[in-house]
Amino acid sequence: MEEINKRIAQKKADYVRYNFTKVQNDILKTFFDLAQEYSTLEDFYQISVAVLQEFMGVEARLYLVNDGPHELEFICDSTRGLQASGVTAPEHIVLCDKMYAIDGAFVVPIISKIMQSVPDPPKDKELLQGMLEVEAPHALTPQEQFFLCKFANRIGFNLYNRRISIQNIKHLKFINNLVMDIEHNVIIPNMYFKHLFNRIRAKIHDVENLEKKMRDMKNAIPMERSSCEDIIKKVSVLHQDLIDYHQEMLRHHNNCSLFLESLFRRDHFEKGHLVLHSKKCFVEKDIILPQLEHFTRRLEGQGITIERPTDMSAEQIPLRVDIGLLSQVYANYFSNAVKYTEVIIDHTGRPRKALAYGRKALPDYFGVGLPGVKFNVFTTGSHLDSEDAAALYTEGFRGKNSIRLAGTGHGLTFVRQVVEMHGGEAGYEPTEEGNNFFFILPVDEI
């Protein structure tokens, strides 16, 4: 409030110094009122010049920089209205950031200040959008010229905001269409994999029948027992491999389908943020174990031992969570474990490279009578320094130990967003022999 009050006082002093006439103040009020009343850019263009003609009795013309070759285009004039698209400005209209006079007319730059809250703002704090030409029947006084500069700035501010708003609406329409495309072209065709998996399962069944047939032949033809035994062994290995590959493909498909459904929901794009679809579940059985199974081969490939808790399945705590989004929380933790888990020498003097997960009840964590549950993912390795630990869950952050590893720095930011949407919090703590990444969820509120 102190900063705002300071700016209000500054503006109050400015308006006293400007000393606008009643007509000039009426021009500004009329301009702002009509700019809110009419929504299209074309109407706004006409208001910008017509209000000057009505109150000041001057001819006004609007020239704006086009999107193509970055040239001035004749947009509108106070007598003839809107011009045809693509009409270039006359030679005497020059794009510049200073007002100038020529042949009885004053040409004023249309400049807008760029708000830093705008996505991907330009590096320059001001944007030159065009020129306003005012042809008066008499020479304008310095005070009138000053007023026109201020009025042109109001045009620039409103014009820039309108263009940003129109651009955002176009982006939203594109995103909504993209969601429908994803649903039609990705999610629905993804179901065809089920058909392919069933065909693979049928072939596995054929191999199984072939294996049985070979065993029957071996028993029926004693002289060929040795040859049949070799074939049976090869068929048995092939059969088991096919079963393993089929199961892994099915798990991967189910996981991808879950993530596609939870990330590309139409609700997300209609609301402009992630929307929870919560249901009651047991976190270990429904979320952790499926994700751990998905990552087991990669973890074991890095020599990482998986240490499972003994209490979670015995003491199940049902929670209402978004299974798809929370599954991706664990997927991010396990993916980081594959990349960053290190070998340490444990308290017994033996090497240890491990991942462990668990859960701890926290009575009254969110207030009296409002318990929480802390979910932990521990990995062995050296502790993060204090600077990395503090920035761990911020967008784009990558720690000093990640320089040689691929990544975007978005995973843990996603974790934090999902956990906070559930009313919880995410964190990190150094522990004996490694690092613990955790999140805490309320029990009653989800």
pLDDT tens readout for residues 298-339: 899 999 999 988 767 656 778 999 999 999 999 999 999 999
pLDDT band at 403 (very low <50, low <70, confident <90, very high): low
What mean pLDDT is reported for the chain?
85
pLDDT over 90 (residue 229): no
Phi then psi for residue 85, to 5 deg, are -65, 140
Question: What is the pLDDT averaged over residues 158-171?
Answer: 86
HSE of 368 in the Cβ direction (CA atoms, 13 Å)? 0
Assessment of whether the complete model's pTM goes beyond 0.85: no
The closest of 221, 236, 334, 326 to 283, measured between CA atoms, is: 326
Question: What is the pLDDT averaged over residues 185-210?
Answer: 73
The closest of 306, 250, 314 to 284, measured between CA atoms, is: 314
Least confident of 76-85, 178-187, 430-439: 178-187
Residue 157 identity (one-letter amino acid): F
Question: What is the pLDDT averaged over residues 59-73?
Answer: 86
- Beta-strand pair 372-380/434-442: antiparallel
Residue with tokens 């491990």: 354
Least confident of 101-110, 143-152, 215-224: 215-224
The set of residues, in sequence order, having a beta carbon less than 8 Å from that of 398 and lying 6+ positions away, is 407, 409
SS3 22: helix
